[in-house]
Structure 1
Amino acid sequence: MQESYKILTVDDDPDILKLLGMRLKAAGYQVVTASNGEEALAQISLSRPALVISDLRMPGMDGLALFDVIHKKDPALPVIMLTAHGSIPEAVDATQRGVFGFLTKPFDSKSLLQQVEAALRMATGAHTTTIDTKDQAWRAGIVTRSPQMENLLGQAKLMAVSDASVFIQGESGTGKELLARAIHQASPRNEKPFVAINCGAMPEALLESELFGHTKGAFTGAIRDNKGLFQSANGGTLFLDEIGDMPLPLQIKLLRALQERVIRPVGSSTDTPIDVRIISATHKSLTEEMKEGRFREDLYYRINVVALAIPPLADRREDIPLLANTFLQLLNAKYKKSINGYAPEAMELLIAAPWPGNVRQLQNIVEQTVVLSTTAIVPAMLVQKALHDNIGGIISFEAARKDFERDYLIKLLKATNGGVTQAARLAQRNRTEFYKLLERHQLTPALFKSDSSQE
């Protein structure tokens, strides 16, 4: 089956093209070549390859410019970028823009063929049931059908096998810790601890003690030795969430730990060796933080060896129904309910919402609707109210109109003691149309008669 895959290699260095061709052909792939970006575009039209491997830096149209053109014409065509050691920042940018992956020169055959196989599997869906089942276990906590997320997870799986530090960029609530855990599960360190800490959630002195540990008597309240999270994660993975909030003095100490693979607990005069893989994350732009002098450039390049960017939920709306129904089943069990799903209009509201809080906000909305729902299907009015409350009243015009309609109808029914004829006359609508309005908002006139008689 491999023989049917055609791969386009692009490089202005004929020796690199020759080396790539030899290794790919030996693995059973067909290979076509191009020496520059313009020639590559012509070859794509002519040869229709399943994968493109391109050098990042080339005269004229460079690798990123070539990728942009390819991605615009055929977003499903994967591109692997070749980079030199000195071009890590460009590689980071490439990955964030959607490039499938990158290889650092000089590359070995194993890494090359692993990336090629993964890229082709993503593009064609070619895999065996056994491999697929095994591959799913490491990412079991991540629910998605988004091509963007599948691409990201493909990159994460490839990066997991190395010990390189990984940096995850993403808005709050996108699931950065879930991705970090998945990388840990896919790594050779998966039988050792995964330890997470939010660097922005505690004061500097406490954060230093939590990370590096302290000795008895190092400060007031230090009544015993504490080994700290670096030592707790020894042999495994340490996830530093919101690293952009880490104070500068601690950044210096972290940099030393990463460079020298040792830590010094607070109050100690001796170093302790450590063996941890660092995965860090932030919702901030560290580029901007560096410009403002709030984040060290040397630390940035130390933690940003490999970068992954999680797309916001609004950019992968195809995941919303899947996530909403997954959360619904989990919350049904938690609250001992048996809600079957969402009314079509309710799901439409979820899909169209702006989701500034991303997946975390969606989960909160689903939980609110499950708690308040008294029917087998979550009605649109409940979702509308939850969204309205959750995002501070900033809703679409259509949602605002529906809110007004419902409030207006409730006032009419209260004023007329549930009398539909009188309410319809006041609204200047005929009875049939008024009943349709009540049905749309799931309002029952009889309930207002009961309320009125009790007042």
Structure 2
Amino acid sequence: MTDTVLIVDDDLGIQKQLKWSLTDFNLVFADDRPSAIAQLRRHEPSVVTLDLGLPPDPANASEGLAALEEILALAPNTKVIVVTGNNDKEHALKAIDMGAYDFYQKPVDSDTMKLLVNRAMNLFNLEHENRILAKRRSGMSRIVGNSDAIQTVVRKAEKIAGTDISTLLLGESGTGKEVFARSIHEHSPRKDAPFVAINCASIPEALLESELFGYEKGAFTGANKTTVGKIETAQGGTLFLDEIGDMPIGLQAKMLRFLQERVIERVGGRNEIPVDIRVICATHRNLQEMVGKETFREDLYYRIGEIPILIPPLRERDQDIILLAKTFLNQYRDEFNAKAKSFSESAVKAMLAHSWPGNIRELQNKLKAAVIMAEGTVVQADDLGLIAADGGEEPEILNLREARELAESKAIRKAYRSAQKNMSKTAELLGVTRPTLYSLIEKYHLEDIKTGV
């Protein structure tokens, strides 16, 4: 990673202008395509500003576009800002379509160019750090992100992956709990055996027991043959019980016995069947509160949660939002054979400003739609269905009731995070009773806090 910027322009006046305006960077210069490629190979710049009107054909863009193609072939991660004449928008758009980061039309304004170069450099550095981090990760390659919030969780997952200790993944819906479970499995000694997932909330209570434990022929009406359950199917591997907080209280006792004894009995059966599997559970619910309300067994809670891992919501992962967005952009572009290659500044601002109540699942859905809806190679905020933030400022609110509701909602969220998601401490920080806090949460529809994670 460097702070080098390559200026490719045959106009010595512009070279001198940029030299004085871009003093924060290490600058190298070239005035034609051969010298540009030579400087690229020698200095490996992070950002290139490229005048499309290069000799020997300065009146046209052919030489500049050829240089762009060669630069991107040699250094595809380099951010190229193309510089064009006043009336040459067609070639500028063609350059963007070829993979240029951005374009700028002459005459050159020093402050504007400095802003563009800064943005390009920041993006290059962010992507570079993520690539380095991905190489260092030995077994969590499924997890995209380099924020402190997510890396703390990754390191914890890596430590437990080689053991059979029971793991409880906590977090809001859509934060990637199953992705973490699969990553732990793939980094464990059981990686060559099955990974079997079952969502306890999606299966009717009357069927969940037979889905998990299997059943013998004749056990109930319609049981025409003996059927192996999910637990047996995972033999030697990993069983992932998603949304275990939704498991019926009556079935929890049977699950506890299995976890303690590592044997099961099929529905309608009499024989004990030994099972050797690792169990990973997940939920968006607050199991401690459920234990207090006697809707979840305390002994089962301690059995499945030997090591709990709290996965942070997307809104707390900063620039990971953009890294994930780019990952999904590339995925869906290939899937739908679309043209979209990058995000506009308004789209980036909108994504960073959005609270993402649906977390990564919501981001996936937005990106899938945006890739399909985007007219050209650049995804706009409108394509995402988001409103771009204007310089990070809140929209003007004149209505006192709305202003009060916004302020109280923000205060509740801030206190909730400061209290590490403990409701009693949150109420104490806010100076209200716990029942009052719950009333405010309901009033303002703070769904992410209502889950209690």
- Is the CA contact 2:210–2:267 (under 8 Å) kept in the aligned structure 1? yes
Shift of residue 342, structure 1, vs aligned partner: 1.0
Q: Could you say what secondary structure the match of 1:279 adopts?
A: strand
- Is the CA contact 2:134–2:141 (under 8 Å) kept in the aligned structure 1? no
Structure 1 CA distance for aligned equivalents of residues 383 and 149 of structure 2: 31
Aligned to 1:337: 338
Aligned to 1:382: 383
Letter in 1 for 2:373: L
Q: Deviations 1:240-273 (Å, cap 9, x if unpaired)?
A: 0000000011100000000111000001011110
Letter in 1 for 2:355: P
Give the alignment of 1:56-455 within 5 angstroms: 133=135, 136=137, 138-383=139-384, 386-387=385-386, 398=395
Letter in 2 for 1:208: E
Q: Could you say what secondary structure the match of 2:294 adopts?
A: coil
* TM, length-normalised to structure 1: 0.55
Give the stretch that moved more between structures: 298-307 or 220-229. Answer: 220-229
Structure 2 CA distance for aligned equivalents of residues 315 and 281 of structure 1: 20
Q: Could you say what secondary structure the match of 1:275 adopts?
A: coil
Structure 1 CA distance for aligned equivalents of residues 142 and 278 of structure 2: 21
Letter in 1 for 2:154: L
Q: Could you say what secondary structure the match of 1:375 adopts?
A: coil
Structure 1 CA distance for aligned equivalents of residues 162 and 333 of structure 2: 37
Structure 1 residues 399 and 305: alpha-carbon distance in aligned structure 2, compared to 1, 3 A threshold: farther
Shift of residue 344, structure 1, vs aligned partner: 0.4
Residue segments in structure 2 that go unaligned for 5+ positions in a row? 1-131, 388-392, 399-453
Letter in 2 for 1:351: L
Q: Deviations 1:120-151 (Å, cap 9, x if unpaired)?
A: xxxxxxxxx9x984x63522221111112111
Letter in 1 for 2:381: A
Letter in 2 for 1:368: A
Structure 2 CA distance for aligned equivalents of residues 341 and 252 of structure 1: 52
Structure 1 CA distance for aligned equivalents of residues 178 and 311 of structure 2: 11
Q: Could you say what secondary structure the match of 2:169 adopts?
A: strand
Q: Could you say what secondary structure the match of 2:338 adopts?
A: coil
Shift of residue 399, structure 1, vs aligned partner: 10
Q: Could you say what secondary structure the match of 1:238 adopts?
A: strand
Structure 2 CA distance for aligned equivalents of residues 132 and 356 of structure 1: 27
Letter in 2 for 1:305: E
Structure 2 CA distance for aligned equivalents of residues 296 and 361 of structure 1: 32
Shift of residue 371, structure 1, vs aligned partner: 1.4
Structure 1 CA distance for aligned equivalents of residues 369 and 396 of structure 2: 18
Structure 1 residues 203 and 197: alpha-carbon distance in aligned structure 2, compared to 1, 3 A threshold: same
Q: Could you say what secondary structure the match of 1:171 adopts?
A: coil
Residue segments in structure 1 that go unaligned for 5+ positions in a row? 1-128, 389-395, 402-455
Q: Could you say what secondary structure the match of 1:143 adopts?
A: coil
Structure 1 residues 332 and 213: alpha-carbon distance in aligned structure 2, compared to 1, 3 A threshold: same
Structure 1 residues 209 and 150: alpha-carbon distance in aligned structure 2, compared to 1, 3 A threshold: same
Structure 1 CA distance for aligned equivalents of residues 396 and 166 of structure 2: 44
Task: Indicate the RMSD between aligned Cα atoms, in angstroms.
Answer: 2.0
- Is the CA contact 2:170–2:308 (under 8 Å) kept in the aligned structure 1? yes
Structure 2 CA distance for aligned equivalents of residues 362 and 140 of structure 1: 19
Structure 1 CA distance for aligned equivalents of residues 309 and 326 of structure 2: 27
Q: Could you say what secondary structure the match of 1:298 adopts?
A: helix
Q: Deviations 1:374-397 (Å, cap 9, x if unpaired)?
A: 1111122222xx247xxxxxxx96
Q: Could you say what secondary structure the match of 2:364 adopts?
A: helix
Shift of residue 277, structure 1, vs aligned partner: 0.7
Shift of residue 205, structure 1, vs aligned partner: 2.1
Letter in 2 for 1:298: D
Shift of residue 278, structure 1, vs aligned partner: 0.6
Shift of residue 220, structure 1, vs aligned partner: 1.5
* TM, length-normalised to structure 2: 0.56
Structure 1 residues 400 and 213: alpha-carbon distance in aligned structure 2, compared to 1, 3 A threshold: farther
Structure 1 residues 348 and 132: alpha-carbon distance in aligned structure 2, compared to 1, 3 A threshold: closer
Structure 1 CA distance for aligned equivalents of residues 281 and 257 of structure 2: 16
Structure 2 CA distance for aligned equivalents of residues 255 and 216 of structure 1: 25
Structure 2 CA distance for aligned equivalents of residues 257 and 165 of structure 1: 13
Aligned to 2:3: none
Structure 2 CA distance for aligned equivalents of residues 186 and 341 of structure 1: 32
Letter in 1 for 2:218: G
Name the count of aligned residue pairs. Answer: 262
Aligned to 1:44: none
Structure 2 CA distance for aligned equivalents of residues 387 and 244 of structure 1: 33
Structure 2 CA distance for aligned equivalents of residues 387 and 240 of structure 1: 34
- Is the CA contact 2:140–2:158 (under 8 Å) kept in the aligned structure 1? no
Structure 1 residues 132 and 144: alpha-carbon distance in aligned structure 2, compared to 1, 3 A threshold: closer
Q: Could you say what secondary structure the match of 2:137 adopts?
A: helix
Q: Could you say what secondary structure the match of 2:241 adopts?
A: strand
Once the two structures are aligned, what percentage of the paired residues are identical? 46
Letter in 1 for 2:296: F
Q: Could you say what secondary structure the match of 1:197 adopts?
A: strand
